[in-house]
Chain A
Amino acid sequence: MDGEELTEQETALYDRQIRVWGADAQRRLSKSHILVSGLKGSVIEFCKNIVLAGVGSVTLNDDRMVTEEILSANFLVPADPNVYTGKSLAELCSDSLKEFNRMVRVSVQEGDLSNFSVDFFRKFDAVVISSCSLSTKKSVNEKCRKSLKRIAFYTVDCKDSCGEIFVDLQNYIYSKKKGDGAFECHIKYSTFEEAISVPWKSLPVRVSKLYLALRVIEKFEELEGRIPGETSAADLPKVQKLRKDLCDAQSHDESRIPDSLLERLLEGRSEFPPVCAIIGGILGQEVIKAISGKGDPMKNFFFFDAMDGKGTIEDISEVQTDLPNCNLFSAITD
Chain B
Amino acid sequence: MASEQQLTAIKGAKVLMVGAGGIGCELLKTLALSGFRDIHIIDMDTIEVSNLNRQFLFRQSHVGQSKAKVARDAVLKFRPHINIIPYHANVKDPDFNVDFFKRFNVVLNGLDNLDARRHVNRLCLAAGVPLVESGTTGFLGQVTVHVKGRTECYECQPKPAPKTYPVCTITSTPSKFVHCVVWAKDLLFAKLFGPKNQENDLNVRSSDASSSSEQVEDVFEHKNDEDIEQYGRKIFDHVFGYNIELALSNEDTWKNRSRPRPIYSKDVIPIEPVHQNGNQGRASAAGDLSSVSAMASLGLKNPQDLWSLKENSAVLLEALKLFLSKREKEIGNLSFDKDDQLAVEFVTAAANIRASSFGIPLHSLFETKGIAGNIVHAVATTNAVIAGLIVIEAIKVLKNDVKNYRMTYCLEHPSKKMLLMPVEPFEPNKSCYVCSETPLTLEINTHCSKLRDVVDKIVKAKLGMNSPLIMQDSSLLYEVGDDLDEDEVAIYAANLEKVLSELPSPVRGGTILTVEDLQQELKCSINIKHREDFDDEKEPDGMVLSGWTQAPAVEKNGKASADNGASTSGASQAASVATEEDDDELQIIPTLTGKKRKLSDVAGAGAASSDASSAAKEPKIKRKAEEIDGNDDVVMLEDGDSTNSTKKGEP
Contacts and interface: CB of A to CB of B under 8 A. Distances in A.
Interface of A: 5-6, 8, 11-21, 23, 41, 45, 48-49, 52-54, 71-80, 99-102, 160-161, 264, 268, 270, 272-278, 280-282, 284-285, 288, 295-296, 298, 302, 304, 306-314, 324
Given A273-B34, A306-B1, A314 B377 contact: no
Given A12-B49, A16-B50, A54-B53, A314 B417 contact: yes
A109 B419 CA distance: 33
27 contacts: A12-B50, A15-B50, A16-B377, A17-B54, A18-B366, A23-B304, A53-B380, A74-B33, A75-B29, A75-B32, A76-B78, A79-B80, A160-B1, A273-B33, A273-B391, A277-B391, A278-B389, A278-B420, A281-B382, A284-B381, A284-B384, A285-B379, A296-B413, A298-B414, A309-B406, A310-B422, A312-B419
B414 A45 contact: no
B55 to A, nearest CB: 9
B399 to A, nearest CB: 13
Given A16-B53, A302-B419, A277 B1 contact: no
B139 A285 contact: yes
Contacts of A307: 1
Interface in B365-389: 366, 370, 375-385, 387-389
B303 interface: yes
B186 interface: no
B49 A280 contact: no
B381 A282 contact: yes
Contacts of B392: 274-275, 306, 309
Contacts of B80: 79-80
A311 B59 CA distance: 32
A281 B385 contact: yes
A79 B77 contact: yes
A309 B420 contact: yes
Contact of A311 (B56, B75, B418): B418
Nearest to A277: B388
Contacts of A78: 77-78
Given A273-B388, A324-B417, 9 more contacts: A11-B303, A16-B50, A16-B583, A72-B33, A79-B79, A272-B1, A277-B29, A282-B381, A313-B418
B78 A77 contact: yes
Interface string B590-623: 0000000000000000000000000000000000
Contacts of B583: 16
A311 B375 contact: no
A49 B381 contact: yes
Given A49-B384, A277-B30, A311 B419 contact: yes
Nearest to A21: B379
A12 B341 CA distance: 12
B33 A75 contact: yes
Most buried by B among A19, A52, A100: A19
Contacts of B33: 41, 72-75, 273, 276
A189 to B, nearest CB: 16
B219 interface: no
A288 B381 contact: yes
Size bracket of the B interface: 35 or more
Nearest to B81: A79
Interface of B: 1-2, 26, 29-30, 32-34, 49-50, 52-54, 56, 59-60, 75, 77-80, 138-139, 301-304, 366, 370, 375-385, 387-389, 391-392, 395, 406, 408, 412-414, 417-422, 583, 639-640
B286 to A, nearest CB: 15
A314 B77 CA distance: 39
Most buried by B among A6, A18, A264, A282: A282
Contacts of B385: 277-278, 281-282
Contact of A310 (B53, B379, B380, B421): B421
Contact of A45 (B376, B379, B384): B384
Most buried by B among A15, A18, A288: A15
A282 B640 CA distance: 25
A77 to B, nearest CB: 7
A278 B378 contact: no
A52 B50 CA distance: 12
A99 B26 contact: no
Contacts of B395: 274
A8 B420 CA distance: 36
Contacts of B417: 312-314, 324
A284 B1 contact: no
Contacts of B640: 19
Contacts of B378: 16-17, 19-20
A49 B78 contact: no
A304 B639 contact: no
Given A8-B301, A78-B77, A278-B420, A16 B379 contact: yes
B419 A5 contact: no
A54 to B, nearest CB: 7
B534 to A, nearest CB: 40
A304 B2 contact: no
A11 B304 contact: yes
A72 B30 CA distance: 11
A291 to B, nearest CB: 13
Nearest to A309: B422
Contact of B379 (A11, A20, A48): A20
A8 B408 CA distance: 37
Contacts of B29: 75, 277
Given A311-B420, A313-B414, A274 B388 contact: yes
Nearest to B582: A16
A59 B272 CA distance: 57
B380 A52 contact: yes
A297 to B, nearest CB: 11
Contact of A312 (B32, B406, B418): B418
A276 to B, nearest CB: 8
B59 A5 contact: no
A28 to B, nearest CB: 15
A74 B375 CA distance: 32
Nearest to A324: B414
A20 B77 contact: no
A13 B1 contact: no
Contacts of A312: 417-419
Contacts of A278: 384-385, 388-389, 420
Contacts of B413: 296
Contacts of B376: 16
Given A277-B384, A277-B385, A296-B413, A19 B377 contact: yes
B639 A277 contact: no
Nearest to A272: B1
A272 B395 CA distance: 12
A274 B391 contact: yes
A201 to B, nearest CB: 19
